[in-house]
Amino acid sequence: MTLVPVPDHAAAYQASVVALDGRALLIEGEPASGKTSLALALIDRGGVLVGDDGVMLADVGGVLWAFPHPATRGMVEIRNVGIVTMQAAPAPVALAVTLAQGAPRHVEGAGSRTICGLAIPSLALWPDTPVLWLRAEWAMKVHGLPILPAVRDSGPQ
């Protein structure tokens, strides 16, 4: 596994992160809210792990990037199974979701959060559904930031 250098100014951040078609979905929530389960479902559908329950975030040229945390790179703790390893890679953050029982049923549009000084679209998702992965994929399609060609070509290698 090739190590991708994390920028010196990157900050540790507690979230699970999965890249879908090159764009990262930052998944937050209370302990046992389903962050890892959602991440695993998205990985099973072709997503790429960035980090489970902890990543490094950095502003790289005005774009928020999520990097695997060096201490847990490629490790996922699967409840009742154990720790498994898989490939992990950095990606630009397109959307932040919070798994919350009080998530609103109807939304007019995504909210916005400032993370590392950058505005990121955000939504709350109700975690108790067997198709949470599908809602997350649609949230990315509808509300996620696009990857600009310059970001794709000049991002961390």
CA-based nearest residue to 84, from 96, 74, 97, 69: 74
List, for residues 7-41, the tens digit of each pLDDT value: 889 999 999 999 999 999 999 999 989 999 999 99
Under CATH, which number does the domain 11-143 receive? 3.40.50.300
The full set of domain ranges for the chain reads 11-143
Q: Would strands 48-51 and 63-68 be described as parallel, antiparallel, or unpaired?
A: unpaired
**What tokens were used for 2?**
């090739």
pTM of the prediction? 0.89
Query: Residue 2: its pLDDT value, please?
Result: 38
d(CA 128, CA 34): 9
User: Given this model, what pLDDT does residue 154 score?
Assistant: 52
